[in-house]
Amino acid sequence: MNLRERQRVFAVSLATGAVPLGVDARGMAVYANNYRAQLLACLRDTYEKTVLWLGDDAFDANASRYIDRHTPSSWTLDAYGEQFVQWLENAYPADVEVGELAWLDWHLRRAFSGADAQPMEVRDLVADDWDRVEIEFVPTLRFRPMLSNAVAIWRALADETPPPPVVIVDAGVGARVWRQGLSPRFASMTADESTCLDLALAGASFGEICASLERTHDEEQTARIAGGCLGAWTAEGMIRQLRR
């Protein structure tokens, strides 16, 4: 058995708990315990607010089952746990805030180490033909529709104040995560802003976004909503550039 094969067998043994031939079971148990302890610590660190919400026992039970089925696939443990959001959504289908808290935890952590990009300044919001302008966002931006007030719960947990009770929110609202400068940030969004951001991320032009709003709003409301979103996104460091 060459070195590469020996390493592969060792890695499989760590993940499955098996003991390779010719290896002292007591020593292997130490390695296996350290392996699992490191992965559990990684998940607890990444999903810190989710731990607070679920409690140690419930979180650790789910994390242990996740570790059993998901081995690390990256050179860095910072990337471990991406599928844990979906895992918790499946584990708590009636408690939608759990998966949404986990989503916030994960993407705030990833935003911190995400790719750098220079956002544009508000003074550069000029265009010859706004109908044809498309918006390019910074690479750390993530968005999702929300079913609960998980953003308010997450914020309360971070502030070490009593979290509000779970509330199912109006249809269409959302949350976004991005990095502004060196600081990961998040915000809840109205249904109108969620519609605008969803379209913009899909490649819709500013004119197409306005046309979508005009189906449910008058011209003045459309201009206020679309212009307000564009201004806020730029001021908050979310937009990298405008393009035609």
Mean pLDDT across 76-97:
95
Mean pLDDT across 194-208:
97
pLDDT band (50, 70, 90) for residue 114? very high
Q: What is the DSSP letter of 81?
A: T
Residue 97 has pLDDT above 50, yes or no: yes
Residue 162 has pLDDT above 90, yes or no: yes
pLDDT of residue 20: 58
Asked which of 69-73, 138-142, 160-164 is least confident by mean pLDDT, the reply is 69-73
- Nearest to 147, CA basis, from 117, 167, 129: 167
pLDDT of residue 77: 82
16-38 pLDDT, tens digit per residue, is 555 555 555 555 454 556 788 99
List of residues 6+ apart from 42 with CB closer than 8 A: 77, 80, 81
pLDDT of residue 78: 84
Residue 13 has pLDDT above 90, yes or no: no
Answer whether 0.75 is exceeded by the pTM.
Answer: yes
- Nearest to 239, CA basis, from 180, 182, 151, 175: 180
Q: What is the mean pLDDT of the chain?
A: 90
pLDDT of residue 30: 46
CA distances in angstroms from 20 to 24, 30, 34, 146, 223, listed in the order given: 9, 14, 17, 47, 67
pLDDT band (50, 70, 90) for residue 107? very high
CA atoms in the 13 A half-sphere facing the CB of 187? 17
Tracing tokens 């916030």 back to the chain, one arrives at: 104
pLDDT band (50, 70, 90) for residue 155? very high
Residue 167 has pLDDT above 50, yes or no: yes
pLDDT of residue 202: 96
